[in-house]
Structure 1
Amino acid sequence: MTTTHDPLGMIFAYRVFDLRDRFPEPVETFREALECLQSDRAYLPELSGDIVAYLRGGYAITIPAAFFLRRQGNQVVLASPEENERIEAEVIAWLRKAVSEQAAHLDKPLPVSKRPYTLDELLTQCDPNAADSEELRQWRAMPDVGREEW
């Protein structure tokens, strides 16, 4: 008897990104990730909303935004929650294919003992006293807007 391997088993978490990175914690399912983008917490998801599937072995696949963003005239809008079941089914089918195709090209992760670096070696390359970039200073100086003021 042969057992079928579901490629989705390689996915262990999803991560949601919006303009202000308000969802730092991973979620378990694509549906949860989509609902995060549709929530009141999301900041301009129609401009910068992304959902990434994280795979075992240290790999990631960005889910195309075309699944959950729609063009209406000159605007881009997030899909409504009423569409979630259909969107989820389409994304799951797409992910099965994408993960299967990518799995054939994925290298096996190196065991810690064979990695060419250690965490301590990487940390010694960081300068905690380095000056912030101009872009970062401007970002921090931006006043809160909209729902951030609540």
Structure 2
Amino acid sequence: MKTNRDHRRGIQIYNKKTNKLSDVDYPFWSIKRINERSILTNGRLKNMIRFLKNVKYDCDNIDNKGAIRSFHINAICYNIGIEKYQYSHFLDLVSIINEELIRILNDKSYRNNIKSVDGTEIIFEKDCDKKMQEISFLQSEINQIVNDLRFNNQNFI
């Protein structure tokens, strides 16, 4: 432990088979940052994260051990500029997530600058092709939800 702050504690996992330590991970720092931003947005960040995780779980084209993990979903949602959703209606969050996924799919330089919530890792640096395929599946599912919301309730989206 480098500091006495609980949220800055790092974790390393020892792999007995390779006799090596993994890179340091800072899950408490990530949780603190998500909680702080979610407070600023009246829970909207956490709602977007939960929504995207549920869509991923229900998506037939992505398994739970796929390239896009909970960690990546946290980073994708955290990366969205707070000004885009801070005061948005909760149903509008679906369109905001959809727009973010479209931007990730279409803008390589944008995608290559998305970092983990703790800022230690570039999300699309490894297994990019597989992650992009899964992002495409997620975006397709969310786009259908956006269309359904528009059809069912023209006033919200």
Normalised by the size of structure 1, how large is the TM-score? 0.25
Larger % of helix: which? Answer: 2
Larger % of strand: which? Answer: 1
Normalised by the size of structure 2, how large is the TM-score? 0.24
